[in-house]
Amino acid sequence: MSARDRYKVTIYCPSCGERYILRGNKEKNGRIETGFKQCVCSNKEKFHISSEQV
């Protein structure tokens, strides 16, 4: 795991307005894995996600 592949991921839930800021690692398939499962309002799918390399 390289330090270059760390991302700060901001996940915004449009259903309840909750915002999560997580650390993610980019996997080999290009997906950024944060371990985030679902919002406190049970929303699991509809998120606005942005990520920046840190």
Structure-token pair, residue 40:
């406190």
* Cβ at position 21, least distance to Zn ion in Å: 15
Q: Concatenated DSSP letters for 6-45?
A: EEEEEEE-TTT--EEEEEEEE-TTSPEE------TTS--S
Q: Does 25 bind Zn ion (CB under 5 A)?
A: no
Is residue 15 a contact residue for Zn ion (CB under 5 A)?
A: yes
Place of tokens 């509809």: 46
User: Does 43 participate in binding Zn ion (rule CB under 5 A)?
Assistant: yes
Please pick, from the candidates 18, 22, 25, 49, the single residue that binds Zn ion as defined by CB under 5 A: 18
| Residues found near Zn ion in the complex (CB under 5 A) | 13, 15-16, 18, 39, 41, 43
